[in-house]
Structure 1
Amino acid sequence: MAAVTSIMRAQQIMLARIEAVLKPFGVTFARYELLTLLSFTRSGALPMKNASVRLQVHPTSVTNAVDRLEAAGYVRRLAHPTDRRTTLVEITATGQTIVRDATARLNDEVFARPGLSQDDIHSLIRVLSGFRHDAGDFADPGSR
Protein backbone atom coordinates (compact mmCIF):
# COMPACT_ATOMS: atom_id res chain seq x y z
CA MET A 1 0.00 0.00 0.00
CA ALA A 2 2.86 2.40 0.76
CA ALA A 3 4.27 1.98 -2.76
CA VAL A 4 0.90 2.53 -4.44
CA THR A 5 0.10 5.52 -2.24
CA SER A 6 3.51 7.05 -2.95
CA ILE A 7 3.07 6.64 -6.70
CA MET A 8 -0.43 8.11 -6.61
CA ARG A 9 0.68 11.09 -4.53
CA ALA A 10 3.71 11.72 -6.76
CA GLN A 11 1.39 11.70 -9.76
CA GLN A 12 -0.89 14.25 -8.08
CA ILE A 13 2.06 16.54 -7.28
CA MET A 14 3.45 16.35 -10.84
CA LEU A 15 0.05 16.88 -12.40
CA ALA A 16 -0.58 19.94 -10.21
CA ARG A 17 2.74 21.44 -11.33
CA ILE A 18 1.94 20.74 -14.98
CA GLU A 19 -1.60 22.08 -14.71
CA ALA A 20 -0.32 25.31 -13.11
CA VAL A 21 2.01 25.89 -16.07
CA LEU A 22 -0.71 25.07 -18.61
CA LYS A 23 -3.44 27.19 -17.00
CA PRO A 24 -2.42 30.46 -18.73
CA PHE A 25 -2.67 28.63 -22.07
CA GLY A 26 -6.25 27.59 -21.32
CA VAL A 27 -5.59 23.86 -21.59
CA THR A 28 -5.48 20.95 -19.21
CA PHE A 29 -2.77 18.31 -19.40
CA ALA A 30 -5.17 15.94 -21.18
CA ARG A 31 -5.89 18.57 -23.85
CA TYR A 32 -2.20 19.43 -24.11
CA GLU A 33 -1.43 15.75 -24.72
CA LEU A 34 -3.95 15.64 -27.57
CA LEU A 35 -2.56 18.82 -29.12
CA THR A 36 0.97 17.45 -28.81
CA LEU A 37 -0.06 14.17 -30.43
CA LEU A 38 -1.62 16.04 -33.35
CA SER A 39 1.44 18.27 -33.70
CA PHE A 40 3.62 15.19 -34.20
CA THR A 41 1.55 13.75 -37.05
CA ARG A 42 2.61 14.34 -40.65
CA SER A 43 -0.62 16.07 -41.60
CA GLY A 44 -1.57 17.50 -38.20
CA ALA A 45 -4.70 15.34 -38.21
CA LEU A 46 -5.82 11.95 -36.91
CA PRO A 47 -9.06 9.99 -36.79
CA MET A 48 -10.54 10.58 -33.36
CA LYS A 49 -10.55 6.81 -32.73
CA ASN A 50 -6.78 6.67 -33.40
CA ALA A 51 -6.18 9.55 -30.98
CA SER A 52 -8.06 7.60 -28.32
CA VAL A 53 -5.90 4.51 -28.88
CA ARG A 54 -2.62 6.42 -28.92
CA LEU A 55 -3.46 8.39 -25.80
CA GLN A 56 -4.81 5.25 -24.11
CA VAL A 57 -8.03 6.96 -23.06
CA HIS A 58 -11.72 6.26 -23.64
CA PRO A 59 -13.16 7.73 -26.88
CA THR A 60 -15.52 9.86 -24.79
CA SER A 61 -12.50 11.58 -23.23
CA VAL A 62 -11.15 12.44 -26.67
CA THR A 63 -14.55 13.77 -27.76
CA ASN A 64 -14.71 15.97 -24.66
CA ALA A 65 -11.17 17.27 -25.22
CA VAL A 66 -11.88 17.95 -28.89
CA ASP A 67 -15.07 19.82 -27.97
CA ARG A 68 -13.12 22.13 -25.64
CA LEU A 69 -10.15 22.55 -27.98
CA GLU A 70 -12.43 23.24 -30.92
CA ALA A 71 -14.31 25.91 -28.95
CA ALA A 72 -10.94 27.56 -28.20
CA GLY A 73 -9.93 27.42 -31.87
CA TYR A 74 -7.04 24.99 -31.30
CA VAL A 75 -8.43 22.11 -33.38
CA ARG A 76 -11.14 21.51 -35.95
CA ARG A 77 -13.13 18.47 -36.96
CA LEU A 78 -12.96 17.33 -40.56
CA ALA A 79 -14.77 14.67 -42.53
CA HIS A 80 -12.48 11.78 -43.42
CA PRO A 81 -11.82 11.89 -47.18
CA THR A 82 -12.51 8.19 -47.75
CA ASP A 83 -14.52 6.96 -44.75
CA ARG A 84 -17.79 8.77 -44.05
CA ARG A 85 -18.05 7.09 -40.63
CA THR A 86 -14.76 8.60 -39.44
CA THR A 87 -14.14 12.10 -38.15
CA LEU A 88 -10.66 13.57 -38.21
CA VAL A 89 -9.39 16.05 -35.65
CA GLU A 90 -6.84 18.52 -36.99
CA ILE A 91 -4.67 20.98 -35.09
CA THR A 92 -4.96 24.61 -36.18
CA ALA A 93 -2.15 27.15 -36.48
CA THR A 94 -3.26 28.57 -33.14
CA GLY A 95 -3.10 25.08 -31.63
CA GLN A 96 0.43 24.64 -32.99
CA THR A 97 1.45 27.90 -31.32
CA ILE A 98 -0.08 26.78 -28.01
CA VAL A 99 1.81 23.46 -28.17
CA ARG A 100 5.11 25.18 -28.95
CA ASP A 101 4.77 27.81 -26.22
CA ALA A 102 3.34 25.45 -23.59
CA THR A 103 6.04 22.87 -24.26
CA ALA A 104 8.76 25.49 -23.82
CA ARG A 105 7.27 26.54 -20.47
CA LEU A 106 6.80 22.91 -19.32
CA ASN A 107 10.39 22.11 -20.27
CA ASP A 108 11.70 25.11 -18.34
CA GLU A 109 9.46 24.93 -15.28
CA VAL A 110 8.64 21.24 -14.79
CA PHE A 111 10.50 18.73 -16.95
CA ALA A 112 14.00 20.21 -16.56
CA ARG A 113 13.64 20.31 -12.76
CA PRO A 114 11.30 17.54 -11.63
CA GLY A 115 12.69 17.57 -8.08
CA LEU A 116 14.71 14.37 -8.45
CA SER A 117 18.40 13.72 -9.03
CA GLN A 118 19.50 12.31 -12.40
CA ASP A 119 20.30 8.97 -10.74
CA ASP A 120 16.83 8.86 -9.16
CA ILE A 121 15.22 9.73 -12.51
CA HIS A 122 17.04 6.91 -14.28
CA SER A 123 16.17 4.44 -11.51
CA LEU A 124 12.54 5.53 -11.52
CA ILE A 125 12.26 5.18 -15.30
CA ARG A 126 13.85 1.73 -15.17
CA VAL A 127 11.56 0.49 -12.40
CA LEU A 128 8.37 1.95 -13.87
CA SER A 129 9.24 0.82 -17.40
CA GLY A 130 9.53 -2.74 -16.14
CA PHE A 131 6.22 -2.44 -14.32
CA ARG A 132 4.51 -0.96 -17.39
CA HIS A 133 6.03 -3.58 -19.69
CA ASP A 134 4.79 -6.40 -17.47
CA ALA A 135 1.32 -4.81 -17.52
CA GLY A 136 1.33 -4.82 -21.35
CA ASP A 137 1.66 -1.05 -21.67
CA PHE A 138 4.17 -1.21 -24.53
CA ALA A 139 3.16 -2.40 -27.99
CA ASP A 140 6.72 -3.33 -28.90
CA PRO A 141 8.23 -5.86 -26.49
CA GLY A 142 11.69 -4.43 -27.25
CA SER A 143 10.72 -0.90 -26.19
CA ARG A 144 11.63 -1.52 -22.57
Structure 2
Amino acid sequence: MPDTLGVATRRYGRHARRAETLLASILMTGHRPLPFDPIARAARLWSDRIGSSGTMAAVTSVMRVQQILQSAADAALRPLNLTFARYEALVLLSFSRQGALPMRVMGERLQLHPTSVTNIVDRLEKDDLVKRTPHPTDRRTTLVAITEAGRELMQAATTAVTEVRFGLTGLDDAELTQLTALLAKVRLAAGDFDADGED
Protein backbone atom coordinates (compact mmCIF):
# COMPACT_ATOMS: atom_id res chain seq x y z
CA MET A 1 0.00 0.00 0.00
CA PRO A 2 2.71 2.61 0.84
CA ASP A 3 4.48 1.91 -2.49
CA THR A 4 1.24 2.38 -4.43
CA LEU A 5 0.55 5.66 -2.69
CA GLY A 6 4.12 6.77 -3.35
CA VAL A 7 3.59 6.24 -7.08
CA ALA A 8 0.40 8.28 -6.86
CA THR A 9 2.26 11.08 -5.09
CA ARG A 10 4.87 11.30 -7.84
CA ARG A 11 2.36 10.99 -10.68
CA TYR A 12 -0.23 13.48 -9.48
CA GLY A 13 2.07 16.12 -8.02
CA ARG A 14 0.03 18.88 -6.35
CA HIS A 15 -3.02 16.62 -6.40
CA ALA A 16 -1.15 13.90 -4.50
CA ARG A 17 -3.21 14.15 -1.33
CA ARG A 18 -6.44 13.68 -3.26
CA ALA A 19 -4.93 10.79 -5.22
CA GLU A 20 -3.69 9.14 -2.04
CA THR A 21 -7.09 9.44 -0.42
CA LEU A 22 -8.76 7.92 -3.47
CA LEU A 23 -6.29 5.06 -3.75
CA ALA A 24 -6.41 4.34 -0.02
CA SER A 25 -10.18 4.18 -0.16
CA ILE A 26 -10.12 1.79 -3.12
CA LEU A 27 -7.53 -0.43 -1.48
CA MET A 28 -9.36 -0.54 1.83
CA THR A 29 -12.90 -0.98 0.62
CA GLY A 30 -12.41 -2.66 -2.73
CA HIS A 31 -14.38 -0.08 -4.74
CA ARG A 32 -14.32 3.58 -5.66
CA PRO A 33 -15.96 6.03 -3.26
CA LEU A 34 -19.62 6.76 -3.89
CA PRO A 35 -20.47 10.29 -5.09
CA PHE A 36 -22.75 10.70 -2.06
CA ASP A 37 -23.02 9.46 1.53
CA PRO A 38 -25.54 6.58 1.47
CA ILE A 39 -25.94 6.69 5.24
CA ALA A 40 -26.82 10.39 5.21
CA ARG A 41 -29.30 9.76 2.39
CA ALA A 42 -30.83 6.83 4.28
CA ALA A 43 -31.10 9.02 7.38
CA ARG A 44 -33.05 11.65 5.47
CA LEU A 45 -35.44 9.04 4.08
CA TRP A 46 -35.79 7.50 7.54
CA SER A 47 -36.67 10.89 9.02
CA ASP A 48 -39.25 11.52 6.31
CA ARG A 49 -40.93 8.12 6.51
CA ILE A 50 -40.31 6.70 9.97
CA GLY A 51 -39.09 9.26 12.49
CA SER A 52 -35.90 10.27 14.28
CA SER A 53 -32.90 8.87 12.43
CA GLY A 54 -30.16 9.61 14.96
CA THR A 55 -29.78 6.09 16.31
CA MET A 56 -30.11 4.44 12.90
CA ALA A 57 -27.49 6.72 11.36
CA ALA A 58 -25.07 6.22 14.25
CA VAL A 59 -25.41 2.43 14.29
CA THR A 60 -25.14 2.14 10.52
CA SER A 61 -22.06 4.37 10.55
CA VAL A 62 -20.38 2.26 13.24
CA MET A 63 -21.12 -0.92 11.32
CA ARG A 64 -19.77 0.52 8.07
CA VAL A 65 -16.63 1.82 9.78
CA GLN A 66 -16.13 -1.64 11.30
CA GLN A 67 -16.14 -3.08 7.77
CA ILE A 68 -13.59 -0.49 6.63
CA LEU A 69 -11.30 -1.13 9.61
CA GLN A 70 -11.58 -4.90 9.27
CA SER A 71 -10.74 -4.68 5.58
CA ALA A 72 -7.69 -2.52 6.26
CA ALA A 73 -6.42 -4.76 9.06
CA ASP A 74 -6.95 -7.90 7.00
CA ALA A 75 -5.11 -6.38 4.03
CA ALA A 76 -2.17 -5.40 6.25
CA LEU A 77 -1.94 -8.82 7.92
CA ARG A 78 -2.66 -11.02 4.90
CA PRO A 79 0.96 -11.03 3.62
CA LEU A 80 1.96 -12.38 7.05
CA ASN A 81 -0.66 -15.15 6.89
CA LEU A 82 -2.44 -13.75 9.95
CA THR A 83 -6.00 -12.78 10.72
CA PHE A 84 -6.75 -9.97 13.14
CA ALA A 85 -8.09 -12.49 15.67
CA ARG A 86 -4.84 -14.46 15.63
CA TYR A 87 -2.84 -11.23 15.78
CA GLU A 88 -4.79 -10.13 18.86
CA ALA A 89 -4.03 -13.46 20.52
CA LEU A 90 -0.30 -13.05 19.89
CA VAL A 91 -0.37 -9.50 21.27
CA LEU A 92 -2.25 -10.67 24.37
CA LEU A 93 0.29 -13.42 25.07
CA SER A 94 3.25 -11.12 24.45
CA PHE A 95 1.83 -8.62 26.96
CA SER A 96 1.45 -11.24 29.70
CA ARG A 97 4.18 -11.42 32.35
CA GLN A 98 5.32 -14.93 31.48
CA GLY A 99 4.33 -14.88 27.83
CA ALA A 100 1.72 -17.52 28.60
CA LEU A 101 -1.93 -17.62 29.71
CA PRO A 102 -4.59 -20.25 30.37
CA MET A 103 -6.97 -20.63 27.44
CA ARG A 104 -9.86 -19.65 29.71
CA VAL A 105 -8.16 -16.33 30.50
CA MET A 106 -7.43 -15.77 26.82
CA GLY A 107 -11.13 -16.18 26.07
CA GLU A 108 -12.08 -13.68 28.79
CA ARG A 109 -9.55 -11.07 27.68
CA LEU A 110 -10.34 -11.45 23.98
CA GLN A 111 -14.08 -11.72 24.74
CA LEU A 112 -14.40 -14.83 22.61
CA HIS A 113 -16.26 -18.12 22.95
CA PRO A 114 -14.03 -21.02 24.10
CA THR A 115 -14.48 -22.76 20.75
CA SER A 116 -13.17 -19.68 18.92
CA VAL A 117 -10.16 -19.51 21.23
CA THR A 118 -9.42 -23.18 20.62
CA ASN A 119 -9.55 -22.66 16.85
CA ILE A 120 -7.23 -19.65 17.08
CA VAL A 121 -4.73 -21.49 19.27
CA ASP A 122 -4.86 -24.57 17.03
CA ARG A 123 -3.91 -22.50 13.99
CA LEU A 124 -1.19 -20.57 15.82
CA GLU A 125 0.25 -23.79 17.21
CA LYS A 126 0.22 -25.39 13.75
CA ASP A 127 2.35 -22.46 12.55
CA ASP A 128 4.71 -22.82 15.56
CA LEU A 129 3.73 -19.38 16.85
CA VAL A 130 2.45 -20.69 20.20
CA LYS A 131 2.74 -23.92 22.14
CA ARG A 132 0.54 -25.59 24.73
CA THR A 133 2.27 -26.36 28.03
CA PRO A 134 1.06 -27.91 31.31
CA HIS A 135 0.27 -25.53 34.16
CA PRO A 136 2.99 -25.90 36.83
CA THR A 137 0.52 -26.18 39.73
CA ASP A 138 -2.87 -27.03 38.20
CA ARG A 139 -2.94 -30.22 36.16
CA ARG A 140 -6.43 -29.38 34.89
CA THR A 141 -5.20 -26.20 33.20
CA THR A 142 -3.30 -25.89 29.94
CA LEU A 143 -1.22 -22.80 29.28
CA VAL A 144 -0.70 -21.28 25.85
CA ALA A 145 2.78 -19.79 25.49
CA ILE A 146 4.02 -17.57 22.69
CA THR A 147 7.15 -18.82 20.92
CA GLU A 148 10.08 -16.74 19.73
CA ALA A 149 8.73 -17.08 16.19
CA GLY A 150 5.39 -15.84 17.48
CA ARG A 151 7.00 -12.78 19.04
CA GLU A 152 8.85 -11.97 15.84
CA LEU A 153 5.73 -12.30 13.72
CA MET A 154 3.71 -10.25 16.21
CA GLN A 155 6.26 -7.43 15.94
CA ALA A 156 6.16 -7.54 12.14
CA ALA A 157 2.36 -7.57 12.20
CA THR A 158 2.28 -4.64 14.60
CA THR A 159 4.42 -2.65 12.20
CA ALA A 160 2.07 -3.56 9.35
CA VAL A 161 -1.14 -2.49 11.09
CA THR A 162 0.31 0.66 12.66
CA GLU A 163 1.62 1.80 9.28
CA VAL A 164 -1.99 1.98 8.09
CA ARG A 165 -3.23 3.22 11.51
CA PHE A 166 -5.41 0.10 11.72
CA GLY A 167 -7.38 1.68 8.86
CA LEU A 168 -8.59 4.50 11.11
CA THR A 169 -7.72 7.65 9.18
CA GLY A 170 -9.13 11.16 9.28
CA LEU A 171 -8.97 11.70 13.08
CA ASP A 172 -6.35 13.48 15.16
CA ASP A 173 -5.21 12.25 18.59
CA ALA A 174 -7.81 14.29 20.48
CA GLU A 175 -10.60 12.97 18.27
CA LEU A 176 -9.36 9.40 18.71
CA THR A 177 -9.51 9.84 22.49
CA GLN A 178 -13.02 11.28 22.23
CA LEU A 179 -14.17 8.46 19.96
CA THR A 180 -12.77 5.82 22.31
CA ALA A 181 -14.53 7.43 25.27
CA LEU A 182 -17.87 7.58 23.45
CA LEU A 183 -17.65 3.96 22.36
CA ALA A 184 -16.70 2.96 25.91
CA LYS A 185 -19.98 4.53 27.10
CA VAL A 186 -21.89 2.35 24.64
CA ARG A 187 -19.97 -0.75 25.73
CA LEU A 188 -20.53 0.03 29.40
CA ALA A 189 -24.26 0.53 28.88
CA ALA A 190 -24.41 -2.83 27.09
CA GLY A 191 -22.69 -4.58 30.00
CA ASP A 192 -19.49 -5.23 28.08
CA PHE A 193 -17.31 -4.51 31.13
CA ASP A 194 -17.52 -3.37 34.76
CA ALA A 195 -16.46 0.24 35.22
CA ASP A 196 -15.54 -0.46 38.87
CA GLY A 197 -13.38 -3.47 38.03
CA GLU A 198 -9.62 -3.64 37.59
CA ASP A 199 -7.98 -2.58 34.33
1:12 lines up with 2:46 in the alignment:
no
What SS class does the counterpart of residue 23 from structure 1 fall into?
helix
How far did residue 116 of structure 1 move?
Answer: 2.1
Q: Which has the higher contact order (CA 8 A, sep 6+)?
A: 1
> What amino acid is aligned across from residue 112 of structure 2 in structure 1?
V
Which of 94, 98, 117 is residue 171 of structure 2 equivalent to?
117
After superposition, what is the alpha-carbon deviation per residue over 1:15-58, rounded to whole angstroms, capped at 9, x for unaligned?
A: 11001111111110000000000000111100001100111110
Contact 2:188 2:195 in 1 (8 A): no
Query: For residues 133 and 195 of structure 2, what CA distance do their matches in structure 1 show?
Result: 31
Q: Which has the larger radius of gyration?
A: 2
**TM-score, normalised with respect to structure 1:** 0.90
TM-score with structure 2 setting the length = 0.66
- Is 1:129 the counterpart of 2:129 in the alignment? no
Aligned length: 142
CA distance in 2, matches of 1:43, 1:16: 32
The answer to whether the 8 A contact 2:94-2:146 is kept is yes
* Superposed displacement of residue 141, structure 1: 2.9
Distance in 2, matches of 1:23 and 1:137, equals 29
Letter in 1 for 2:101: L
1:66 to 118, 121, 127: 121
Partner of 1:76: 131
Partner of 2:140: 85
* Residue segments in structure 1 that go unaligned for 5+ positions in a row: none
Offset, 1:2: 2.4
Q: Return the match for 1:29 from 66, 77, 84.
A: 84
For structure 2, the residue ranges without an aligned partner over 5 or more in a row are 1-55
SS in 1 for 2:112: coil
CA distance in 2, matches of 1:65, 1:15: 17
Amino acid of the structure 2 residue aligned with 1:114: L
Pairwise CA distance, 1:142: 7.7
Percent identical? 51
Secondary structure of 2:145 counterpart: strand
